Amino acid sequence: MFAVSDFSDMTFAERKAIVTGGASGIGKATALRLAELGADVVVSDIDEPGGAHVAEQIGGRFAMLDVGDPEAWDRVVAAFGPFDMAFLNAGIATNPGLPPAPGVPIADLTDEAYRRIMGVNVDGVVYGTRAVLAGMTDQGAGDIVVTASMAGLGPIAMDPVYGLTKHAVVGFVRSMAAALDQLPDGPDVCISAICPGFTDTNIIGDGAREFVAELGLEIMPADRVAQVVARTIAERPQGGQWVIWPGTEPRLYEWNPPIEV
């Protein structure tokens, strides 16, 4: 595991960041970390009291934002942007309580629950990238980090639709990176993803800790993931996916170049 001291010279002074899902969990921890490193942080969330509290705590600003609403993105970017850094972190699960409900997977999944998770986990990343990319293009540079999951790199039987959304996020990040690399005269924008294992967030609901322990796994503190977010912004691995697992050094996987046919 790398230590904070390994990056003691890291600074994001004079850079402006937006963090989605910033009221709690990984978003909160990352907002705190970026602010510690000198960034001007805009904390966004649908949880207004929680998000506003984090913003006050770090001397930043709060923006009410439903990430699945493209018009809301336009309003936030117009009011607070342009941004040098964007951490697109907001996410939900179809079964936040864990362990998985008995029965055939997704048999009881409602249309409303399906549309909601797709709106937050997938639409929120696409709309967010589109919204911040315009300003980054005008400025000539920027960094976008997206919260995926280990569920975006392998199967997750307990919540197949959550796995679907995180696979989509990983594919989007890799494809966006390839597209950006095909623009030699374009903006210096880097996009990458973090893929943590079980982390102490609101997605880990009641009963989840015992379930995870029965699997022989650990639940990581959110600030462990926040350190990797800061690291990927500093190191800028275009299209990379950081695998974050308890007790091990974070591992970076690069995107593969397009297959020639």
Catalytic annotation, residues: 162
Residue bearing tokens 């999951």 = 149
* Residue 128 C-beta-side C-alpha neighbours within 13 Å: 35
User: Positive or negative CA dihedral for 130, 39, 45, 213?
Assistant: positive
Under a CB-based contact definition with an 8 Å cutoff, are residues 242 and 252 in contact?
yes
Planar angle of CA 116, 122, 124, nearest 5 degrees: 80
**Whole-angstrom distance between the N-terminal and C-terminal Cα of the chain?**
40
User: Positive or negative CA dihedral for 97, 100, 103, 104?
Assistant: positive
